[in-house]
Protein backbone atom coordinates (compact mmCIF):
# COMPACT_ATOMS: atom_id res chain seq x y z
CA UNK A 1 0.00 0.00 0.00
CA UNK A 2 0.97 3.56 -0.54
CA UNK A 3 2.22 5.68 2.28
CA UNK A 4 -0.44 7.96 3.75
CA UNK A 5 -0.21 10.52 6.53
CA UNK A 6 2.96 9.15 8.08
CA UNK A 7 1.63 5.59 8.39
CA UNK A 8 4.29 3.81 6.35
CA UNK A 9 4.05 0.52 4.55
CA UNK A 10 6.28 -0.96 7.23
CA UNK A 11 3.90 0.11 9.94
CA UNK A 12 0.89 -1.10 8.02
CA UNK A 13 2.55 -4.50 7.91
CA UNK A 14 3.27 -4.23 11.62
CA UNK A 15 -0.41 -3.56 12.26
CA UNK A 16 -1.24 -6.76 10.42
CA UNK A 17 1.22 -8.66 12.59
CA UNK A 18 -0.18 -7.31 15.80
CA UNK A 19 -3.79 -7.86 14.83
CA UNK A 20 -3.08 -11.06 12.97
CA UNK A 21 -5.32 -13.87 11.81
CA UNK A 22 -6.79 -16.38 14.21
CA UNK A 23 -6.16 -19.94 13.14
CA UNK A 24 -8.85 -22.50 13.58
CA UNK A 25 -6.69 -25.50 14.54
CA UNK A 26 -9.65 -27.75 15.20
CA UNK A 27 -10.29 -28.17 11.52
CA UNK A 28 -6.84 -29.48 10.62
CA UNK A 29 -6.11 -33.13 10.01
CA UNK A 30 -3.33 -34.89 11.88
CA UNK A 31 0.17 -34.41 10.46
CA UNK A 32 0.82 -37.25 8.08
CA UNK A 33 4.56 -37.62 8.75
CA UNK A 34 7.43 -36.61 11.00
CA UNK A 35 8.96 -34.18 8.51
CA UNK A 36 5.73 -32.29 8.31
CA UNK A 37 5.26 -32.35 12.08
CA UNK A 38 8.81 -31.16 12.80
CA UNK A 39 8.84 -28.28 10.30
CA UNK A 40 5.37 -27.08 11.25
CA UNK A 41 6.35 -26.98 14.92
CA UNK A 42 9.67 -25.25 14.18
CA UNK A 43 7.90 -22.76 11.92
CA UNK A 44 5.44 -21.85 14.67
CA UNK A 45 8.31 -21.30 17.15
CA UNK A 46 10.27 -19.09 14.72
CA UNK A 47 7.09 -17.20 13.81
CA UNK A 48 6.44 -16.45 17.48
CA UNK A 49 10.00 -15.13 17.86
CA UNK A 50 9.53 -12.82 14.85
CA UNK A 51 12.02 -14.79 12.74
CA UNK A 52 9.78 -14.76 9.69
CA UNK A 53 12.38 -15.79 7.12
CA UNK A 54 13.25 -18.93 9.07
CA UNK A 55 9.56 -19.59 9.74
CA UNK A 56 8.79 -19.36 6.02
CA UNK A 57 11.52 -21.87 5.22
CA UNK A 58 10.10 -24.38 7.70
CA UNK A 59 6.49 -23.92 6.54
CA UNK A 60 7.60 -24.42 2.92
CA UNK A 61 9.32 -27.68 3.84
CA UNK A 62 6.15 -28.77 5.68
CA UNK A 63 4.10 -28.04 2.54
CA UNK A 64 6.44 -30.16 0.45
CA UNK A 65 6.12 -33.02 2.92
CA UNK A 66 2.31 -32.84 2.93
CA UNK A 67 1.12 -30.97 -0.21
CA UNK A 68 -2.56 -31.66 0.42
CA UNK A 69 -2.68 -30.41 4.00
CA UNK A 70 -3.73 -26.70 4.05
CA UNK A 71 -2.38 -25.93 7.55
CA UNK A 72 1.17 -25.21 6.44
CA UNK A 73 -0.12 -23.18 3.49
CA UNK A 74 -2.08 -20.86 5.74
CA UNK A 75 0.86 -20.51 8.12
CA UNK A 76 3.11 -19.73 5.16
CA UNK A 77 0.66 -17.18 3.79
CA UNK A 78 0.56 -15.34 7.11
CA UNK A 79 4.34 -15.39 7.29
CA UNK A 80 4.65 -13.98 3.77
CA UNK A 81 2.42 -11.09 4.86
CA UNK A 82 4.97 -10.29 7.59
CA UNK A 83 7.75 -10.48 5.00
CA UNK A 84 5.72 -8.09 2.77
CA UNK A 85 5.71 -10.67 -0.05
CA UNK A 86 2.12 -9.82 -0.84
CA UNK A 87 1.93 -11.27 -4.33
CA UNK A 88 3.11 -14.67 -3.15
CA UNK A 89 0.72 -14.50 -0.19
CA UNK A 90 -2.15 -13.65 -2.52
CA UNK A 91 -1.48 -16.77 -4.61
CA UNK A 92 -1.41 -19.00 -1.53
CA UNK A 93 -4.57 -17.60 0.03
CA UNK A 94 -6.40 -17.72 -3.30
CA UNK A 95 -5.52 -21.40 -3.53
CA UNK A 96 -6.87 -21.91 -0.02
CA UNK A 97 -10.19 -20.21 -0.86
CA UNK A 98 -10.63 -22.72 -3.67
CA UNK A 99 -9.79 -25.72 -1.48
CA UNK A 100 -11.67 -24.47 1.59
CA UNK A 101 -14.30 -21.93 0.42
CA UNK A 102 -16.36 -22.33 3.60
CA UNK A 103 -13.61 -21.07 5.96
CA UNK A 104 -13.40 -17.28 6.58
CA UNK A 105 -9.66 -17.14 7.43
CA UNK A 106 -8.36 -17.73 3.87
CA UNK A 107 -10.71 -15.06 2.53
CA UNK A 108 -9.43 -12.61 5.13
CA UNK A 109 -5.81 -13.42 4.31
CA UNK A 110 -6.56 -13.00 0.61
CA UNK A 111 -8.16 -9.60 1.26
CA UNK A 112 -5.13 -8.38 3.23
CA UNK A 113 -2.79 -9.47 0.43
CA UNK A 114 -4.94 -7.75 -2.19
CA UNK A 115 -5.18 -4.52 -0.22
CA UNK A 116 -1.39 -4.29 0.09
CA UNK A 117 -1.17 -4.74 -3.68
CA UNK A 118 -3.60 -1.86 -4.20
CA UNK A 119 -6.37 -4.18 -5.40
CA UNK A 120 -8.95 -2.50 -3.19
CA UNK A 121 -12.06 -3.56 -5.08
CA UNK A 122 -10.93 -7.19 -5.10
CA UNK A 123 -10.13 -6.90 -1.40
CA UNK A 124 -13.66 -5.68 -0.66
CA UNK A 125 -15.11 -8.65 -2.53
CA UNK A 126 -12.94 -11.06 -0.50
CA UNK A 127 -13.93 -9.32 2.74
CA UNK A 128 -17.60 -9.61 1.80
CA UNK A 129 -17.15 -13.36 1.46
CA UNK A 130 -15.36 -13.53 4.81
CA UNK A 131 -18.19 -11.59 6.44
CA UNK A 132 -20.82 -13.98 5.06
CA UNK A 133 -18.92 -16.88 6.62
CA UNK A 134 -18.16 -15.09 9.92
CA UNK A 135 -20.63 -12.19 10.36
CA UNK A 136 -19.32 -11.02 13.75
CA UNK A 137 -15.58 -11.15 13.10
CA UNK A 138 -14.22 -7.72 14.17
CA UNK A 139 -11.14 -8.14 11.95
CA UNK A 140 -13.34 -8.29 8.86
CA UNK A 141 -15.02 -4.99 9.76
CA UNK A 142 -11.63 -3.48 10.58
CA UNK A 143 -10.08 -4.36 7.24
CA UNK A 144 -13.24 -3.28 5.43
CA UNK A 145 -12.67 0.05 7.15
CA UNK A 146 -9.02 0.15 6.03
CA UNK A 147 -9.87 -0.58 2.40
CA UNK A 148 -12.80 1.87 2.19
CA UNK A 149 -10.52 4.48 3.78
CA UNK A 150 -8.02 3.93 0.96
CA UNK A 151 -10.90 4.34 -1.52
CA UNK A 152 -11.79 7.64 0.19
CA UNK A 153 -15.24 6.40 1.22
CA UNK A 154 -14.74 8.03 4.59
CA UNK A 155 -18.31 7.92 5.90
CA UNK A 156 -18.43 4.21 5.22
CA UNK A 157 -14.98 3.53 6.71
CA UNK A 158 -15.86 5.41 9.93
CA UNK A 159 -18.98 3.28 10.39
CA UNK A 160 -17.00 0.08 9.82
CA UNK A 161 -14.29 1.09 12.30
CA UNK A 162 -16.99 1.84 14.88
CA UNK A 163 -18.42 -1.66 14.39
CA UNK A 164 -14.96 -3.23 14.70
CA UNK A 165 -14.23 -1.37 17.94
CA UNK A 166 -17.60 -2.40 19.42
CA UNK A 167 -16.80 -6.06 18.77
CA UNK A 168 -13.13 -5.90 19.79
CA UNK A 169 -11.88 -3.02 21.97
CA UNK A 170 -8.29 -4.10 21.19
CA UNK A 171 -8.74 -2.59 17.74
CA UNK A 172 -9.60 0.84 19.16
CA UNK A 173 -6.21 2.61 18.85
CA UNK A 174 -5.67 1.81 15.17
CA UNK A 175 -9.34 2.25 14.25
CA UNK A 176 -9.53 5.67 15.88
CA UNK A 177 -6.29 6.68 14.15
CA UNK A 178 -7.81 5.92 10.76
CA UNK A 179 -11.07 7.65 11.73
CA UNK A 180 -9.11 10.75 12.70
CA UNK A 181 -7.24 10.76 9.39
CA UNK A 182 -10.55 10.47 7.50
CA UNK A 183 -11.81 13.59 9.31
CA UNK A 184 -8.65 15.43 8.30
CA UNK A 185 -9.19 14.34 4.68
CA UNK A 186 -12.65 15.94 4.75
CA UNK A 187 -11.37 19.16 6.30
CA UNK A 188 -13.00 18.45 9.69
CA UNK A 189 -9.95 19.47 11.69
CA UNK A 190 -11.45 19.53 15.20
CA UNK A 191 -12.99 16.07 14.87
CA UNK A 192 -9.77 14.73 13.37
CA UNK A 193 -7.71 16.06 16.27
CA UNK A 194 -10.08 14.51 18.84
CA UNK A 195 -9.89 11.08 17.21
CA UNK A 196 -6.08 11.13 16.94
CA UNK A 197 -5.84 12.13 20.62
CA UNK A 198 -8.24 9.30 21.49
CA UNK A 199 -6.09 6.85 19.50
CA UNK A 200 -3.04 7.86 21.54
CA UNK A 201 -4.93 7.56 24.84
CA UNK A 202 -6.37 4.13 23.97
CA UNK A 203 -3.05 2.47 23.09
CA UNK A 204 0.35 1.90 24.61
CA UNK A 205 2.08 5.27 25.16
CA UNK A 206 5.39 4.05 23.65
CA UNK A 207 3.95 2.08 20.76
CA UNK A 208 4.78 2.81 17.15
CA UNK A 209 1.18 3.84 16.54
CA UNK A 210 1.32 6.37 19.39
CA UNK A 211 4.57 7.83 18.02
CA UNK A 212 3.15 8.24 14.51
CA UNK A 213 -0.12 9.66 15.87
CA UNK A 214 1.77 12.25 17.94
CA UNK A 215 3.76 13.28 14.85
CA UNK A 216 0.57 13.69 12.84
CA UNK A 217 -1.06 15.64 15.64
CA UNK A 218 1.96 17.93 15.92
CA UNK A 219 2.01 18.58 12.18
CA UNK A 220 -1.70 19.22 11.95
CA UNK A 221 -1.92 21.52 14.95
CA UNK A 222 1.18 23.44 13.91
CA UNK A 223 0.00 23.97 10.35
CA UNK A 224 -3.74 23.28 10.19
CA UNK A 225 -4.71 22.42 6.65
CA UNK A 226 -7.99 21.47 5.11
CA UNK A 227 -8.58 19.86 1.76
CA UNK A 228 -6.91 21.34 -1.29
CA UNK A 229 -8.79 24.51 -2.27
CA UNK A 230 -8.70 23.95 -6.04
CA UNK A 231 -9.41 21.35 -8.71
CA UNK A 232 -8.62 21.27 -12.41
CA UNK A 233 -10.11 18.93 -15.02
CA UNK A 234 -8.95 18.74 -18.63
CA UNK A 235 -10.08 16.51 -21.47
CA UNK A 236 -9.70 16.11 -25.21
CA UNK A 237 -11.98 13.95 -27.37
CA UNK A 238 -11.98 12.63 -30.88
CA UNK A 239 -15.58 12.16 -32.10
CA UNK A 240 -17.46 10.87 -35.11
CA UNK A 241 -21.01 12.25 -35.44
CA UNK A 242 -23.41 10.67 -37.94
CA UNK A 243 -25.67 13.75 -37.97
CA UNK A 244 -24.15 16.99 -36.72
CA UNK A 245 -26.78 18.93 -34.78
CA UNK A 246 -26.45 22.34 -33.17
CA UNK A 247 -27.16 21.78 -29.50
CA UNK A 248 -25.35 24.32 -27.34
CA UNK A 249 -26.13 24.38 -23.65
CA UNK A 250 -29.66 25.57 -23.01
CA UNK A 251 -31.00 25.11 -26.55
CA UNK A 252 -32.40 21.62 -26.49
CA UNK A 253 -33.81 20.67 -28.94
CA UNK A 254 -32.39 22.33 -32.08
CA UNK A 255 -34.16 25.29 -33.59
CA UNK A 256 -35.24 24.03 -36.97
CA UNK A 257 -33.88 22.61 -40.20
CA UNK A 258 -30.87 24.94 -40.30
CA UNK A 259 -29.71 23.51 -36.99
CA UNK A 260 -29.72 19.89 -38.26
CA UNK A 261 -27.02 19.23 -40.83
CA UNK A 262 -28.14 15.78 -42.02
CA UNK A 263 -24.41 15.22 -42.57
CA UNK A 264 -21.74 13.26 -40.74
CA UNK A 265 -18.40 14.68 -39.66
CA UNK A 266 -15.38 14.20 -37.45
CA UNK A 267 -14.54 16.72 -34.75
CA UNK A 268 -12.18 17.34 -31.88
CA UNK A 269 -13.50 18.69 -28.60
CA UNK A 270 -11.63 20.34 -25.76
CA UNK A 271 -12.96 20.81 -22.25
CA UNK A 272 -11.46 22.48 -19.20
CA UNK A 273 -12.96 23.16 -15.79
CA UNK A 274 -11.32 24.76 -12.80
CA UNK A 275 -12.73 25.32 -9.32
CA UNK A 276 -11.32 27.43 -6.51
CA UNK A 277 -12.75 27.24 -2.97
CA UNK A 278 -11.37 30.02 -0.72
CA UNK A 279 -13.82 29.06 2.06
CA UNK A 280 -13.71 25.49 3.35
CA UNK A 281 -14.85 24.84 6.91
CA UNK A 282 -16.56 21.94 8.66
CA UNK A 283 -19.97 23.22 7.59
CA UNK A 284 -19.43 25.75 4.82
CA UNK A 285 -17.83 25.78 1.38
CA UNK A 286 -17.83 28.65 -1.10
CA UNK A 287 -16.04 29.02 -4.39
CA UNK A 288 -15.98 29.94 -8.05
CA UNK A 289 -15.71 27.80 -11.18
CA UNK A 290 -14.96 28.33 -14.81
CA UNK A 291 -15.75 25.91 -17.61
CA UNK A 292 -14.61 26.12 -21.22
CA UNK A 293 -15.72 23.95 -24.16
CA UNK A 294 -14.63 24.06 -27.80
CA UNK A 295 -15.62 21.80 -30.67
CA UNK A 296 -13.72 21.90 -33.98
CA UNK A 297 -15.30 20.08 -36.92
CA UNK A 298 -13.29 18.72 -39.78
CA UNK A 299 -15.61 20.07 -42.50
CA UNK A 300 -18.77 21.53 -40.91
CA UNK A 301 -16.97 24.43 -39.26
CA UNK A 302 -20.13 26.54 -39.12
CA UNK A 303 -21.31 24.10 -36.41
CA UNK A 304 -18.26 24.70 -34.18
CA UNK A 305 -19.36 25.57 -30.65
CA UNK A 306 -17.45 27.57 -28.05
CA UNK A 307 -18.86 27.81 -24.54
CA UNK A 308 -17.70 29.95 -21.61
CA UNK A 309 -19.37 29.09 -18.30
CA UNK A 310 -18.23 30.90 -15.11
CA UNK A 311 -20.19 30.30 -11.90
CA UNK A 312 -20.13 30.92 -8.15
CA UNK A 313 -21.55 28.82 -5.32
CA UNK A 314 -22.00 28.54 -1.59
CA UNK A 315 -22.65 25.21 0.13
CA UNK A 316 -23.70 24.32 3.68
CA UNK A 317 -23.56 20.91 5.36
CA UNK A 318 -26.30 20.28 7.92
CA UNK A 319 -26.00 16.72 9.20
CA UNK A 320 -27.19 14.48 6.39
CA UNK A 321 -28.43 17.41 4.29
CA UNK A 322 -26.21 19.43 1.96
CA UNK A 323 -27.64 22.71 0.63
CA UNK A 324 -25.98 24.40 -2.34
CA UNK A 325 -26.87 27.71 -4.04
CA UNK A 326 -25.25 28.37 -7.39
CA UNK A 327 -25.23 31.21 -9.90
CA UNK A 328 -24.10 30.41 -13.45
CA UNK A 329 -23.46 32.58 -16.49
CA UNK A 330 -23.19 31.04 -19.94
CA UNK A 331 -21.89 32.56 -23.16
CA UNK A 332 -22.15 30.40 -26.30
CA UNK A 333 -20.65 31.13 -29.72
CA UNK A 334 -21.48 29.19 -32.90
CA UNK A 335 -18.88 29.42 -35.64
CA UNK A 336 -17.47 32.86 -34.98
CA UNK A 337 -20.76 34.44 -33.94
CA UNK A 338 -22.47 35.06 -30.58
CA UNK A 339 -25.38 32.67 -30.10
CA UNK A 340 -26.63 32.65 -26.50
CA UNK A 341 -26.26 34.53 -23.23
CA UNK A 342 -27.88 33.00 -20.16
CA UNK A 343 -28.03 33.56 -16.41
CA UNK A 344 -29.21 30.90 -13.98
CA UNK A 345 -29.78 30.59 -10.23
CA UNK A 346 -29.97 27.04 -8.96
CA UNK A 347 -30.57 25.78 -5.39
CA UNK A 348 -29.72 22.09 -4.88
CA UNK A 349 -30.43 19.93 -1.81
CA UNK A 350 -28.79 16.54 -1.31
CA UNK A 351 -30.16 14.26 1.40
CA UNK A 352 -28.17 11.21 2.55
CA UNK A 353 -30.80 8.80 3.88
CA UNK A 354 -28.10 6.18 4.46
CA UNK A 355 -24.46 5.76 3.48
CA UNK A 356 -25.61 4.20 0.22
CA UNK A 357 -28.86 6.04 -0.55
CA UNK A 358 -29.00 9.69 -1.62
CA UNK A 359 -31.80 11.95 -2.87
CA UNK A 360 -31.16 15.19 -4.70
CA UNK A 361 -33.69 17.98 -5.17
CA UNK A 362 -32.91 20.74 -7.65
CA UNK A 363 -34.59 23.92 -8.81
CA UNK A 364 -33.51 26.44 -11.41
CA UNK A 365 -34.47 29.80 -12.78
CA UNK A 366 -32.77 30.70 -16.07
CA UNK A 367 -33.03 33.70 -18.36
CA UNK A 368 -31.98 33.12 -21.99
CA UNK A 369 -30.98 35.82 -24.47
CA UNK A 370 -30.47 34.43 -27.99
CA UNK A 371 -28.45 36.37 -30.55
CA UNK A 372 -29.42 36.79 -34.22
CA UNK A 373 -25.86 36.90 -35.64
CA UNK A 374 -25.77 33.21 -36.61
CA UNK A 375 -29.47 32.50 -37.22
CA UNK A 376 -32.04 35.08 -38.29
CA UNK A 377 -34.96 35.20 -35.87
CA UNK A 378 -32.99 33.39 -33.15
CA UNK A 379 -33.99 36.07 -30.64
CA UNK A 380 -37.60 34.87 -30.79
CA UNK A 381 -36.43 32.15 -28.41
CA UNK A 382 -35.58 34.67 -25.67
CA UNK A 383 -37.35 33.79 -22.47
CA UNK A 384 -37.33 32.38 -18.97
CA UNK A 385 -36.99 28.75 -17.95
CA UNK A 386 -38.12 27.20 -14.68
CA UNK A 387 -37.02 23.72 -13.66
CA UNK A 388 -37.71 21.38 -10.73
CA UNK A 389 -36.47 17.83 -10.36
CA UNK A 390 -35.71 14.96 -8.02
CA UNK A 391 -33.10 12.24 -8.47
CA UNK A 392 -32.32 9.28 -6.25
CA UNK A 393 -28.99 7.45 -6.17
CA UNK A 394 -28.55 3.99 -4.69
CA UNK A 395 -25.01 2.66 -4.33
CA UNK A 396 -24.10 -1.00 -4.04
CA UNK A 397 -21.06 -3.31 -4.11
CA UNK A 398 -19.36 -1.18 -1.46
CA UNK A 399 -19.97 1.99 -3.40
CA UNK A 400 -18.44 0.76 -6.66
CA UNK A 401 -21.79 0.55 -8.44
CA UNK A 402 -24.90 2.68 -8.45
CA UNK A 403 -28.42 3.00 -9.80
CA UNK A 404 -29.93 6.39 -10.60
CA UNK A 405 -33.59 7.33 -11.16
CA UNK A 406 -34.77 10.88 -11.76
CA UNK A 407 -37.67 13.06 -12.87
CA UNK A 408 -37.52 16.68 -14.04
CA UNK A 409 -40.16 19.18 -15.09
CA UNK A 410 -39.23 22.35 -16.92
CA UNK A 411 -40.99 25.06 -18.86
CA UNK A 412 -39.90 27.83 -21.22
CA UNK A 413 -41.87 31.09 -21.23
CA UNK A 414 -41.03 33.24 -24.26
CA UNK A 415 -43.90 35.74 -24.00
CA UNK A 416 -45.48 34.63 -27.25
CA UNK A 417 -49.10 34.76 -26.22
CA UNK A 418 -51.57 32.10 -27.32
CA UNK A 419 -52.45 32.52 -31.01
CA UNK A 420 -54.98 30.24 -32.58
CA UNK A 421 -53.13 30.10 -35.90
CA UNK A 422 -49.46 30.74 -36.77
CA UNK A 423 -48.25 32.13 -40.08
CA UNK A 424 -46.24 29.39 -41.83
CA UNK A 425 -42.62 30.41 -42.31
CA UNK A 426 -42.92 33.44 -40.04
CA UNK A 427 -41.39 32.68 -36.65
CA UNK A 428 -42.61 34.42 -33.50
CA UNK A 429 -42.02 34.05 -29.77
CA UNK A 430 -45.14 31.89 -29.63
CA UNK A 431 -43.28 29.04 -31.39
CA UNK A 432 -41.11 28.37 -28.37
CA UNK A 433 -43.32 28.23 -25.26
CA UNK A 434 -43.29 24.67 -23.93
CA UNK A 435 -43.74 22.37 -20.94
CA UNK A 436 -41.60 19.23 -20.63
CA UNK A 437 -41.22 16.08 -18.55
CA UNK A 438 -37.97 14.16 -18.37
CA UNK A 439 -37.37 10.66 -16.97
CA UNK A 440 -33.79 9.54 -16.38
CA UNK A 441 -32.30 6.20 -15.40
CA UNK A 442 -28.66 5.30 -15.01
CA UNK A 443 -26.49 2.36 -14.02
CA UNK A 444 -22.89 2.41 -12.85
CA UNK A 445 -21.44 -1.10 -13.07
CA UNK A 446 -18.99 -2.21 -10.33
CA UNK A 447 -15.40 -2.15 -11.52
CA UNK A 448 -14.51 -5.16 -13.66
CA UNK A 449 -10.77 -5.60 -13.66
CA UNK A 450 -9.82 -1.94 -14.03
CA UNK A 451 -12.75 -0.97 -16.26
CA UNK A 452 -15.47 1.47 -15.23
CA UNK A 453 -18.78 1.27 -17.11
CA UNK A 454 -21.80 3.56 -17.03
CA UNK A 455 -25.10 3.47 -18.88
CA UNK A 456 -27.86 6.07 -19.02
CA UNK A 457 -31.24 6.46 -20.72
CA UNK A 458 -33.38 9.60 -20.78
CA UNK A 459 -36.86 10.17 -22.13
CA UNK A 460 -37.84 13.80 -22.74
CA UNK A 461 -41.44 14.68 -23.66
CA UNK A 462 -42.09 18.28 -24.77
CA UNK A 463 -45.51 19.88 -25.30
CA UNK A 464 -45.48 23.27 -27.03
CA UNK A 465 -48.29 25.61 -26.09
CA UNK A 466 -49.13 27.29 -29.39
CA UNK A 467 -49.62 26.49 -33.09
CA UNK A 468 -46.19 26.40 -34.72
CA UNK A 469 -45.02 28.44 -37.72
CA UNK A 470 -43.04 25.41 -38.97
CA UNK A 471 -46.28 23.41 -39.40
CA UNK A 472 -48.25 23.19 -42.63
CA UNK A 473 -51.18 25.57 -42.36
CA UNK A 474 -49.88 26.97 -39.07
CA UNK A 475 -52.43 25.12 -36.93
CA UNK A 476 -50.37 22.24 -35.43
CA UNK A 477 -48.94 22.39 -31.94
CA UNK A 478 -45.50 20.86 -31.77
CA UNK A 479 -44.91 17.65 -29.77
CA UNK A 480 -41.46 16.11 -29.31
CA UNK A 481 -40.47 12.76 -27.81
CA UNK A 482 -36.71 12.69 -27.45
CA UNK A 483 -34.73 9.62 -26.38
CA UNK A 484 -31.11 9.64 -25.27
CA UNK A 485 -28.89 6.64 -24.63
CA UNK A 486 -25.29 6.78 -23.44
CA UNK A 487 -22.80 3.98 -22.78
CA UNK A 488 -19.33 4.68 -21.41
CA UNK A 489 -16.45 2.37 -20.60
CA UNK A 490 -13.14 3.64 -19.31
CA UNK A 491 -10.16 2.91 -17.16
CA UNK A 492 -7.51 4.88 -15.27
CA UNK A 493 -4.04 5.04 -16.82
CA UNK A 494 -2.38 6.77 -13.86
CA UNK A 495 -3.57 8.47 -10.66
CA UNK A 496 -4.40 11.58 -12.68
CA UNK A 497 -4.99 10.33 -16.25
CA UNK A 498 -7.82 8.18 -17.65
CA UNK A 499 -9.20 7.08 -21.00
CA UNK A 500 -12.81 6.35 -21.96
CA UNK A 501 -14.80 5.23 -24.99
CA UNK A 502 -18.39 6.49 -25.27
CA UNK A 503 -21.40 5.92 -27.49
CA UNK A 504 -24.34 8.35 -27.63
CA UNK A 505 -27.62 7.85 -29.44
CA UNK A 506 -30.30 10.53 -29.80
CA UNK A 507 -33.70 10.22 -31.49
CA UNK A 508 -36.14 13.13 -31.72
CA UNK A 509 -39.58 11.97 -32.82
CA UNK A 510 -41.48 15.19 -33.52
CA UNK A 511 -44.91 15.65 -35.07
CA UNK A 512 -43.27 18.38 -37.20
CA UNK A 513 -40.92 16.77 -39.73
CA UNK A 514 -38.45 19.68 -39.70
CA UNK A 515 -37.48 18.74 -36.13
CA UNK A 516 -37.14 14.98 -36.68
CA UNK A 517 -33.62 13.63 -36.49
CA UNK A 518 -31.45 10.76 -35.27
CA UNK A 519 -27.76 10.83 -34.51
CA UNK A 520 -24.99 8.55 -33.28
CA UNK A 521 -21.81 9.86 -31.69
CA UNK A 522 -18.71 7.73 -31.10
CA UNK A 523 -16.08 9.26 -28.82
CA UNK A 524 -12.64 8.47 -27.44
CA UNK A 525 -11.67 10.78 -24.59
CA UNK A 526 -8.45 11.35 -22.68
CA UNK A 527 -9.08 13.05 -19.32
CA UNK A 528 -6.84 14.36 -16.58
CA UNK A 529 -7.62 15.58 -13.10
CA UNK A 530 -5.38 17.63 -10.87
How far apart are alpha carbons 363 and 374 in whole angstroms? 31
Q: Which candidate, 190, 200, 180, 275, places its Cα nearest to that of 224?
A: 190
pLDDT band for position 18 (cuts 50, 70, 90): very low
Q: Is 348 left (phi over 0), alpha (psi -120 to 50) or beta?
A: beta
pLDDT at 256: 64
Q: What is the pLDDT of residues 235-269, one digit of tens each?
A: 999 999 999 998 755 446 666 667 888 999 999 99
Q: What is the mean pLDDT of residues 71-79?
A: 84
pLDDT at 248: 59
Q: How many C-beta atoms lie closer than 10 Å to residue 99's C-beta?
A: 11
Q: What is the mean pLDDT of residues 423-435?
A: 89
If you write DSSP's letter for every residue of 488-516 in order, what string do you get?
EEEEESSSSEEEEEEEEEEEEEESSGGG-
Q: Which residues contact 228 (CB under 8 A, 6 or more apart)?
A: none
Q: Is 346 left (phi over 0), alpha (psi -120 to 50) or beta?
A: beta
Q: Which candidate, 92, 32, 28, 103, places its Cα nearest to that of 60?
A: 92
pLDDT at 213: 82
- Residue 40 backbone phi and psi in degrees, to 5: -65, -45
For residues 1 and 219, the model is more confident at 219
Q: Which candidate, 138, 137, 129, places its Cα nearest to that of 161?
A: 138
Q: What percent of the chain has pLDDT over 70?
A: 90
pLDDT at 11: 36
For residues 343 and 104, the model is more confident at 343
Cα dihedral 20/26/28/34 (nearest 10)? 100
What 3-state DSSP class applies to 433? coil
Name the packing angle between helices 138-150 and 172-185 (round to 10°): 20
Kindly state the helix (H) or strand (E) to which residue 254 belongs, with its residue range: none
170: pLDDT strictly greater than 90? no
68: pLDDT strictly greater than 60? yes
What count of Cα atoms within 13 Å lies in the side-chain half-sphere of residue 493? 9
pLDDT at 436: 96
**Nearest-5° angle of CA 99, CA 102, CA 107?**
80
What pTM was estimated for this model as a whole? 0.60
The terminus-to-terminus CA distance of the chain in angstroms comes to 21
How far apart are alpha carbons 76 and 82 in whole angstroms? 10
Distance, CA of 217 to chain centre: 30
Sign of CA dihedral 97, 98, 100, 101: positive
Q: What percent of the chain has pLDDT over 90?
A: 39
β-strand pairing of 383-396 with 401-413 = antiparallel
Q: Which candidate, 333, 427, 345, 425, places its Cα nearest to that of 371?
A: 333
How far apart are alpha carbons 301 and 81 in whole angstroms? 60
Q: What is the pLDDT of residues 461-470, one digit of tens each?
A: 999 999 998 8
pLDDT band for position 440 (cuts 50, 70, 90): very high
How far apart are alpha carbons 361 and 350 in whole angstroms? 6
**What residue ranges define each of the domains in the chain, with the CATH number in brackets?**
9-222 (1.25.40.10), 230-529 (2.40.160.40)
**Least confident among 47-51, 86-90, 184-188, 382-386:** 184-188
Q: What is the mean pLDDT of residues 69-75?
A: 80
**Least confident among 62-71, 136-145, 319-328:** 62-71
Average per-residue pLDDT in the chain?
A: 85
**Least confident among 3-7, 144-148, 421-425, 451-455:** 3-7
How far apart are alpha carbons 140 and 262 in whole angstroms? 58
| Cis, peptide link before residue 100, omega less than 30° from 0 | no
Q: Which candidate, 186, 182, 183, 180, places its Cα nearest to that of 213?
A: 180
For residues 454 and 42, the model is more confident at 454
Q: What is the pLDDT of residues 214-232, one digit of tens each?
A: 888 777 765 445 567 899 9
Instruction: Measure Cα distances from 250 to 134, 198, 405 in Å.
Output: 54, 52, 22
Q: Which residues contact 99 (CB under 8 A, 6 or more apart)?
A: 70
For residues 50 and 308, the model is more confident at 308
Q: What is the mean pLDDT of residues 340-344?
A: 95
Amino acid sequence: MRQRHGLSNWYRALCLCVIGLTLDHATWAQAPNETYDFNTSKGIVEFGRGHYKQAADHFEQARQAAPNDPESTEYLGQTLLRLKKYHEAEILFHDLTIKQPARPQPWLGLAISQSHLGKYREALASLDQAQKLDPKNPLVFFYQGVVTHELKSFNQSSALFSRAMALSPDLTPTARYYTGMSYYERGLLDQGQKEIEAAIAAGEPESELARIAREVLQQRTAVPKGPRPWDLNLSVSGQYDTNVVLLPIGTQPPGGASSISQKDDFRTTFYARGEYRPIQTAGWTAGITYGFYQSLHQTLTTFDIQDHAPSAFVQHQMGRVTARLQYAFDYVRVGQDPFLLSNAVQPIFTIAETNSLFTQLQFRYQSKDFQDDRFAGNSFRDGKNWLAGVTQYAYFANGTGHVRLGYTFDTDRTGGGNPLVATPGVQTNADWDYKAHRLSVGLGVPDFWTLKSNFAFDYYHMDYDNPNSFSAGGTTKRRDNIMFFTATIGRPLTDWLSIAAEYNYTRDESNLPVFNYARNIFSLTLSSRF
